[in-house]
Structure 1
């Protein structure tokens, strides 16, 4: 079976590669020589090829474009330039399956084609690259916890901020990220005067293949020892600045920067099926879906009242239907007798066990005075009211989450000893 090749290479290297492809005895065949990225993507989406050979300096080439090629079932071979070695690094950061140097003669062209064939032979059929596939047991990689909850303001941001603060207080290098594209307010809650959307800047850098540890560290100021913050977008209409393909790369770099990355997510899980005919259309909820897909742990937050419990049950069902949140911890916030009866904790536990099959939910009692004081002073509960019942409950949850990191490190040590 002949495999179609889409070629978008500049200069004399194009003819060298095309000639090398035609010498493969029918295994490969150039089906389209593309003048620009638009033509390349159109050809890929039309199913005209399974392999794309692309110049590293092709106009508008970014991580999202590479992801679109992968979604179309196309493997990507990036062609770098020996006079510009940074192009090869950029292509790797963008997610290219193979990076080669620009061939100067027939032998070099043949070598490029052989390496490309090796990729196709190794996998059989192309698969979408998974930039988030970081083994939990790898000692050098941190873990990600996504804080999500259904609509109705159950307290996602409050929980995310205070869980991150507790992890940092325990000596874990922690990154708090605001990925709520509807009403992000982490920067305001923690008292950051500069509310420039750091996450948008990180996504832009990742989209261009320029996000590394140094760049991410510059975008994440420390607000306390071991606690960094990556602020979110200031207006809901800026959501297109956070494409999921770029955020996938942000989470990967974040794992290397900190031991824990705590992501405050938006509530909406809709996947924009009405736009599915247009594969280039951005996903309105791409930031939330990307965070949930990358998360090692999903902390699901609901409110401790009848409406909040109903929404929580439905939300848990939505996560299951979408295949998100494999490892979950359920937290019920603002548990109080005035909304759940004389024994609110017991009532909440019984309802979740009956309607959602959840028997190990964590309960956070309502403590409005302490929460109001923390919000007013733009500080965390452990700073304002360390003895607060709400703070003690969240600290216990953070300890449970932190234990997962110790477990992953133990697994890594065992694997290292076996190897």
Structure 2
């Protein structure tokens, strides 16, 4: 058993000197200049523990989570001006290192670091099966999370989220999260300036800081009935800035002290074939979600895409609780379009699941988008709004069921 060191020169020299005096320098597998070297040594499995300075460049939750796949991690807190006093390691750091999760926190005193290094001879440090990358457990103060997604080309998904959120906000506090990693657009649908709210939250989490929940939501007009919006990435090209460990910690923040949080997820979901996963945010939300709604266009092409995506996502272990078909009209599917749509889906085995239809009212949808309001506010008695009321009633029933079976 041995250790990877990545410490400031002064502390590193003191630690090595103490180990040399007792003939224990063999416990150090490598003295690393940076975290890239630490990660390389961890992947090569030449050590069981990495002792890293809090001041190391690029130290964040994402890197620590990757290191934890191979080695145990101990972080040496940053020395403060008062470091000469007798104190525990938690009094040294300027940030809460415990936010990084399953890591040890050491004081910057060389004698304590040496004592920890010597302990690798007597305790089992780490084995890969001890690690669980995703943390999807639910805290007591978290409300329900509704994941809304579907195949690529699911036209009307963002409109559906906006209008359902406004309807339900008349009864409960509702938040909306733009988690689309391809074409985020909810800022436009809620008529606010483009921002990178979700990126800002991700950065604070990645750096071990507590997100300021009151400052991260976009300020919406009264037309949206108090809905809170966590805006998306501005562009889908920024998906690399949210790793899976960070994504798993976004939902407790987004759902804290709120009855309902709805997240808009990108259409499609590739199999996880690369080390860097474009769909990490989607996978995290789907695993954490209490309710999953699958949105597709009510057209022959939309139904084909829905069936293909349904089969693919089921193979990956994701369940579905309801389907919403948007843009329902006779010109696309013939007379009685919902009858034909359900018949097609039942033929391929998609049964025993609610299938809702939302009729096409393109002119009204265009007008409310230009005027910066919600369709259910501008046209509350329209057929479109009545269709959404049925969807919202089902969501409310599912929320009550989830609440009744929660521990």
**Distance in 2 (alpha carbons) for counterparts of 1:231 and 1:402:** 24
What is aligned with 2:104? Answer: 98
Closer/same/farther in 2, CA of residues 30 and 125 from structure 1, 3 Å limit: farther
Task: Choose which of 72, 76, 79 in structure 2 pairs with 1:79.
Answer: 76
Higher mean displacement: 238-247 or 200-209:
238-247
**Distance in 1 (alpha carbons) for counterparts of 2:71 and 2:332:** 54
Corresponding position: 1:336 with 2:335? no
Closer/same/farther in 2, CA of residues 127 and 351 from structure 1, 3 Å limit: same
Corresponding position: 1:260 with 2:260? yes
Look up the SS of the partner of 2:215 in the other structure.
helix
Q: Is the 8 A contact 1:352 1:359 kept in 2?
A: no
Closer/same/farther in 2, CA of residues 12 and 256 from structure 1, 3 Å limit: farther
Closer/same/farther in 2, CA of residues 348 and 58 from structure 1, 3 Å limit: same
Look up the SS of the partner of 1:373 in the other structure.
helix
Point out the structure with max Rg over C-alpha: 2
Q: How many residues align?
A: 393
Higher mean displacement: 75-84 or 326-335:
75-84
Question: Aligned-residue CA RMSD in angstroms?
Answer: 3.4
What is aligned with 1:133? Answer: 136
What is aligned with 1:31? Answer: 29
Per the normalisation by structure 1, the TM-score is 0.81
What are the within-5 Å matches in structure 2 for residues 101-116 of structure 1?
101-105=107-111, 109-110=114-115
Q: Is the 8 A contact 2:338 2:357 kept in 1?
A: no
Look up the SS of the partner of 1:217 in the other structure.
coil
Quote the offset at 1:37 in angstroms. 0.6
Q: Is the 8 A contact 1:174 1:260 kept in 2?
A: yes
Closer/same/farther in 2, CA of residues 18 and 332 from structure 1, 3 Å limit: farther
Quote the offset at 1:203 in angstroms. 1.9
What is aligned with 1:65? Answer: 63
Q: Is the 8 A contact 1:13 1:102 kept in 2?
A: yes
Residue deviations 1:324-365, cap 9 Å, x none?
Answer: 3x3532222222222222222222122212214233233223
**Distance in 2 (alpha carbons) for counterparts of 1:157 and 1:272:** 25
Q: Is the 8 A contact 2:80 2:93 kept in 1?
A: no
**Distance in 2 (alpha carbons) for counterparts of 1:202 and 1:17:** 37
Quote the offset at 1:77 in angstroms. 2.3
What are the within-5 Å matches in structure 2 for residues 257-336 of structure 1?
257-271=257-271, 273=273, 276=274, 279=275, 282-324=276-318, 326=319, 328-336=321-329
Corresponding position: 1:197 with 2:196? yes
Structure 1: gaps (5+ residues):
none
Structure 2: gaps (5+ residues):
82-90
What is aligned with 2:151? Answer: 150
**Distance in 2 (alpha carbons) for counterparts of 1:159 and 1:57:** 45
Q: Is the 8 A contact 1:95 1:129 kept in 2?
A: no
**Distance in 2 (alpha carbons) for counterparts of 1:117 and 1:269:** 45
Q: Is the 8 A contact 1:56 1:78 kept in 2?
A: yes
Q: Is the 8 A contact 1:67 1:128 kept in 2?
A: no
**Distance in 2 (alpha carbons) for counterparts of 1:298 and 1:334:** 20
Closer/same/farther in 2, CA of residues 312 and 118 from structure 1, 3 Å limit: farther
Quote the offset at 1:247 in angstroms. 2.7
Quote the offset at 1:38 in angstroms. 0.6
Quote the offset at 1:292 in angstroms. 2.6
What is aligned with 2:85? Answer: none
**Distance in 2 (alpha carbons) for counterparts of 1:251 and 1:86:** 29
Q: Is the 8 A contact 1:94 1:209 kept in 2?
A: yes
**Distance in 2 (alpha carbons) for counterparts of 1:271 and 1:198:** 27
Look up the SS of the partner of 1:267 in the other structure.
coil
Closer/same/farther in 2, CA of residues 190 and 284 from structure 1, 3 Å limit: same
**Distance in 1 (alpha carbons) for counterparts of 2:350 and 2:109:** 60
**Distance in 1 (alpha carbons) for counterparts of 2:121 and 2:162:** 46
Quote the offset at 1:188 in angstroms. 0.8
Per the normalisation by structure 2, the TM-score is 0.83
What is aligned with 1:396? Answer: 390
**Distance in 2 (alpha carbons) for counterparts of 1:29 and 1:87:** 26
**Distance in 2 (alpha carbons) for counterparts of 1:263 and 1:20:** 53
**Distance in 2 (alpha carbons) for counterparts of 1:62 and 1:410:** 38
Quote the offset at 1:100 in angstroms. 3.5
Residue deviations 1:82-136, cap 9 Å, x none?
Answer: 6384737442223343333334535x75368769987848x78431332x3223x
